[in-house]
Amino acid sequence: MNLELSILAVIAFCTIGILLSGMILYTKKRLVSTAPCVIEINEDPALTKSVEGGKTLLSALMEQGIAIPSPC
């Protein structure tokens, strides 16, 4: 009986983990915008950057060559 209970517990744990992972991926797909975003810096058209959506502001600016210290 202990072996059967252990196997059942492992199967239940894996099933719950897979379901939670699937829910996270589904909600990320539905809620996070991946459309191009425009970042306007100091209302200056020369500094306006177009980046791919779904990223953090810090990583998007870093890809455009604008380095900002992360504590800021």
Sorted by where each begins, the domain ranges of the chain are 1-31, 34-72
CA 51 to chain centre: 15
pLDDT of 14 above 70: yes
For the chain, the average pLDDT equals 89
With a threshold of 0.75, does the pTM exceed it?
Answer: no
pLDDT at residue 68, rounded to an integer: 84
**Contact assessment for residue 41 and residue 49, using Cβ atoms and an 8 Å cutoff:** yes
